[in-house]
Amino acid sequence: MLSFDLSRFRLAEAAFIQCLIDNGAADGGTATASHGLTRVLLEPGFEMEVKRIYYTLSLAAAGYDEAGAPSGATGQFQLRFVFEVENLEEYSTTSEEFEGSFPIRDLMIMLGGVAYSTARGLVLGKTAGTPLAGFALPLRSPQELFQQSLQELEARDEPAAPKKRASASAKPKSVTTKRKPAKD
């Protein structure tokens, strides 16, 4: 993996887009003894012009009783992370398949790992005092997380390359990177 000048990187935003925690039953459900992550998806994006890299992290969790059966407690979380990279052009590349430059894979993996690790603390704090109290995201390899997420995005017919973001607004609209036309 490359060496990065981290003094030129900044986490500009880390925020919940969605946080839904349900005890699963009108009567309070059964006691939750343990928790598990049931879904994780890290969606990358970037905007080269303003030197920003974005991630949307979607998570789902479930609670389990003493016997390991679902307790009914569930959680759905979506978080947004924005990184500013002063020297993004130093960590970019091009491809014949896409127009323009885009961040290199090692940078995307590293910042995706930072986003996931930051989410661990944010979710732990958000679940305090709820049926999912104590829920912590498991440690994950950034490479594994990034690869799994790309495979899931490809499976739902998303482009394999990260999506460009049109603006840095609170909820940016997605603009897919344009593919060059195939040569005959």
Q: Give me the DSSP letters along 57-97.
A: EEEEEEEE-TTSSEEEEEEEEEEEEEEEETTGGGGEEEETT
Give residue 27's pLDDT band: very low, low, confident or very high (50, 70, 90). Answer: low
Q: Which residues of 129-161 are buried (b: 16+ CB within 10 A; e: fewer)?
A: ebbbeebebeebebeebbeebbebbeeeeeeeb
Rounded to a whole number, what is the largest CA-CA distance in the chain? 65
Instruction: Kindly state the percentage of the chain with pLDDT values over 90.
Output: 71
Mean pLDDT of 22-34: 74
pLDDT at 42: 97
Residues 122, 16: Cα–Cα separation, whole Å: 9
Mean pLDDT of 41-67: 96
Give residue 156's pLDDT band: very low, low, confident or very high (50, 70, 90). Answer: confident
pLDDT at 37: 94
Mean pLDDT of 54-80: 95
Mean pLDDT of 161-180: 38
pLDDT at 100: 92
